[in-house]
């Protein structure tokens, strides 16, 4: 009977061990499903998008003149004020004319005297010519009379030139505007002595209407610029801070070489500037439409993210998971990104909620922009 006890004891313990094992297994945590991120999405579409280039330009007057005196003299009066708009040939300053008037009278008196001497010499030649032909005076005497007459005639010509120069000098006592434009600050006040061609200008006049805007484009756009302006002047618009509506102009100049140090090509646009919104030295935005890209793949700009390896988007896969994909962006036009590579038309892309995503994240589409990029978001000039 004692030998049977160990065997029966083992039979009793086996169910107990099995029960403990089952209990231990039942205490393991139940796995949770991966989190689902709510997002809004948009589909990549194809559109005819304008090639719109936006750069910063600098306003420059077509003509700018530093007004100086052409003669020495005292400034008597100023007929304009700081900041006045002036017309061409408008009287601006007066210089004391008395020295120039005296010089003119002196030159005129010398001319009168020499004309009298010329008349006398001419009379001597006429009176002695018949006598010389009969041999009553020598040929040398006659030649001397003729030489005296020629000398007197030359003196008259010199005097006439001096009179003309004196009149010009007298004209310099009135300083007139060489162009229509706006005067800057008056730098010299009446009573001061002026020097001819002094480096210190009386004022500076800038032509305001029309006016230039200088800017530069990347050299790779030169071909598009030349093609765009082949049939008609290339239109440009300037965006001015604080002015709601851009002003329109045309490209008036393309430089004859690309800058090898910067790789840029310099251009200049001309604007009528009838409302005087453009001001010399001002920085403005310049927009050029260089044509259109047909069937360009377009996304709203904020669907494209910037990362350490470049730009990317989250594409919605067929199983509603996110796929991070690198894309190339050719440009942005009025809030729309033109996709150059990495995305096909019709693919669905996450529009909002990218901060919660990574590769493989399950997505819950909260709203879907069925119309995707609305026509109102297109840039001016785009063909819908």
In DSSP notation, 340-373 reads EES--TT-EEEEE-GGG--TT-EEEEEEEETT-S
Is the pLDDT confidence value at 62 over 80?
Answer: yes
Q: What is the CATH number of the domain that holds 353?
A: 2.40.420.20
When comparing pLDDT for 147 and 94, which is higher? 94
Determine, yes or no, domain membership for 68: yes
The per-residue pLDDT for 196 is 92
Residue at which a domain ends, from 291, 321, 344? 291
Cα(179)–Cα(158) distance, integer angstroms: 34
Candidates 68, 90, 92, 89; CA nearest to 79 is 92
Give yes or no for residue 107 having a pLDDT over 70.
yes
- Residue 201 shares a structural domain with residue 226: no
User: What's the rounded Cα separation, in Å, for the pair 175 and 92?
Assistant: 6
Residues 139 and 163 in one domain: yes
165-189: buried (b, 16+ CB within 10 Å) or exposed (e) per residue? ebeebbeebebebebbbbbbebebe
Output the CA–CA distances (angstroms, integers) from residue 202 to 70, 89, 174, 273, in the order listed: 12, 16, 13, 26
The answer to the question of residue 2 being in a domain is: no
Q: How many CB atoms lie within 10 A of CB 320?
A: 14
Residue 266 is predicted with a pLDDT of: 96
Instruction: Check whether residue 43 and residue 79 sit in a common domain.
Output: no
Q: What is the mean pLDDT of residues 22-34?
A: 56
Q: Domain with 162 in it: what CATH number?
A: 1.10.287
The pLDDT tens digits for 301-321 are 989 999 888 999 999 998 988
What value does the mean pLDDT take over residues 209-233? 91
User: What is the model's pLDDT at position 367?
Assistant: 67
Mean pLDDT taken over the chain: 85
Shared domain check, 214 and 280: yes
Instruction: Name the least confident of 138-147, 196-205, 297-306, 334-343.
Output: 138-147
Q: What is the per-residue pLDDT across 240-298, written as a single tens digit (0 to 9) for each?
A: 999 999 999 999 999 999 999 999 999 999 999 999 999 999 999 999 988 888 889 99
The answer to whether residues 186 and 67 belong to one domain is: yes
Looking up residue 200, the CATH number of its domain turns out to be 2.40.50.100
Please check the confidence at residue 19 and state whether its pLDDT lies above 60.
no
Instruction: Identify the residue with better confidence: 232 or 1.
Output: 232
Q: Same domain, yes or no, for 216 and 251?
A: yes
- Cα 89 to chain centroid, rounded: 30
Confidence of residue 375 (pLDDT cuts 50, 70, 90): very low
How far are the Cα atoms of 180, 298, 349 from residue 302, in angstroms, in the given order?
Answer: 48, 12, 11
pLDDT band at 137 (very low <50, low <70, confident <90, very high): confident
Would you tell me how many other CB atoms lie within 10 Å of the CB of residue 39?
24
The angle formed by the CA atoms of residues 249, 250 and 252, to the nearest 5 degrees, is 130
Query: Is residue 124 within 8 Å of 149, Cβ to Cβ?
Result: yes
In a domain, residue 230? The reply is yes
For the chain, what is the domain count?
A: 4
Contact 313, 41 (CB under 8 A): no
The yes-or-no verdict on residue 27 having pLDDT over 70 is no
Q: Is 300 a member of any domain?
A: yes
> Among 129-138, 147-156, 328-337, which stretch is predicted with the lowest mean pLDDT?
129-138
Look at 75-79, 143-147, 324-328 and tell me which has the smallest mean pLDDT.
143-147
Per-residue pLDDT, 372:
47
* Same domain membership, residue 242 and residue 221: yes
Strands 362-369 and 36-43: parallel
pLDDT at residue 112 greater than cutoff 90:
yes
Establish if 9 belongs to a structural domain: no
| C-alpha dist (Å) from residue 283 to 244, 268, 327 | 16, 14, 33
Q: Are 244 and 269 within one domain?
A: yes
pLDDT over 70, % of the chain: 86
What pLDDT is attached to residue 361?
A: 87
| Integer angstrom CA distances of residue 167 from 74, 108, 193, 198 | 18, 10, 21, 22
Domain that holds residue 123: 97-172
Are 157 and 191 members of one domain? no
pLDDT attached to residue 30:
57
- Residue 338 in any domain: the answer is yes
Q: Is residue 214 part of a domain?
A: yes
Express as a percent the part of the chain with pLDDT over 90: 58
Which CATH number covers residue 237? 2.40.30.170
Assess whether 85 and 198 both reside in one domain: yes
Q: In this predicted structure, what is the pLDDT of residue 357?
A: 86
218 in the same domain as 110: no
pLDDT category of residue 29 using cuts at 50, 70 and 90: low
**Residue 16 pLDDT level (bands cut at 50, 70, 90):** very low
Q: Identify whether 328 is part of a domain.
A: yes
Q: 202 with 71, same domain?
A: yes
Q: Which residue has the higher pLDDT, 232 or 174?
A: 174
Cα distance between residue 347 and residue 43, in whole Å: 6
Q: Measured between alpha carbons, how far is 346 from 57 in angstroms, rounded to an integer?
A: 38
Residue 345, CA distances (Å) to 42, 100, 321, 349 in order:
11, 82, 19, 11
SS3 state at 199:
coil
Name the range with the highest mean pLDDT among 49-63, 169-183, 229-243, 337-351. 169-183
pLDDT of residue 33: 61
């Amino acid at each position: 009977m004692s030998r049977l006890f160990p065997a029966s004891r083992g039979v009793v313990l086996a169910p107990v061990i099995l029960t403990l094992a089952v209990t231990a297994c039942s205490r393991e945590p139940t796995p949770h499903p991966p989190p689902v991120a709510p997002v809004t999405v948009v589909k990549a579409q194809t559109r005819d998008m304008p090639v719109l280039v936006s750069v910063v330009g600098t306003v420059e007057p077509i003509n700018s003149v530093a007004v100086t005196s052409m003669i020495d003299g005292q400034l008597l009066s100023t007929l304009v004020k700081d900041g006045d708009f002036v017309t061409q040939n408008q009287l601006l300053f007066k210089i004391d004319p008395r020295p120039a008037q005296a010089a003119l009278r002196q030159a005129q008196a010398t001319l009168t005297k020499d004309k009298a001497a010329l008349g006398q010499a001419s009379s001597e030649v006429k009176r002695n010519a018949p006598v010389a032909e009969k041999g009553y005076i020598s040929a040398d005497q006659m030649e001397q009379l003729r030489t005296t007459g020629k000398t007197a005639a030359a003196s008259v010509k010199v005097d006439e030139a001096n009179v003309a120069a004196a009149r010009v000098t007298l004209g310099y006592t009135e300083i007139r505007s060489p162009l229509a434009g706006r005067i800057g600050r008056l730098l010299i006040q009446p009573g001061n002595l002026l020097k001819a061609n002094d480096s210190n200008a009386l004022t500076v006049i800038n032509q305001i209407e029309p006016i230039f805007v200088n800017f530069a484009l990347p050299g790779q756009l030169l071909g598009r610029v030349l093609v765009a302006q082949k049939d008609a002047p290339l239109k440009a618009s300037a965006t001015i801070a604080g002015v709601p509506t851009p002003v329109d102009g045309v490209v008036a100049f393309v430089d004859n070489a690309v800058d090898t140090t910067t790789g840029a090509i310099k251009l200049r646009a001309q604007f009528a500037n009838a409302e005087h919104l453009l001001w010399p030295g001002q920085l403005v935005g310049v927009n050029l439409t260089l044509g259109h890209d047909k069937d360009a793949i377009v996304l709203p700009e904020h669907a494209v993210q910037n990362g350490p390896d470049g730009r990317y988007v989250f594409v919605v896969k067929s199983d509603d998971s996110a796929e991070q994909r690198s894309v190339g962006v050719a440009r942005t036009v009025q809030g729309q990104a033109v996709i150059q590579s990495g995305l096909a038309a019709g693919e669905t892309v996450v529009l909002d909620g990218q901060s919660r995503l990574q590769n493989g994240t399950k997505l819950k589409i909260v709203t879907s922009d069925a119309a995707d990029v609305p026509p109102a978001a297109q840039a001016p000039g785009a063909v819908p």
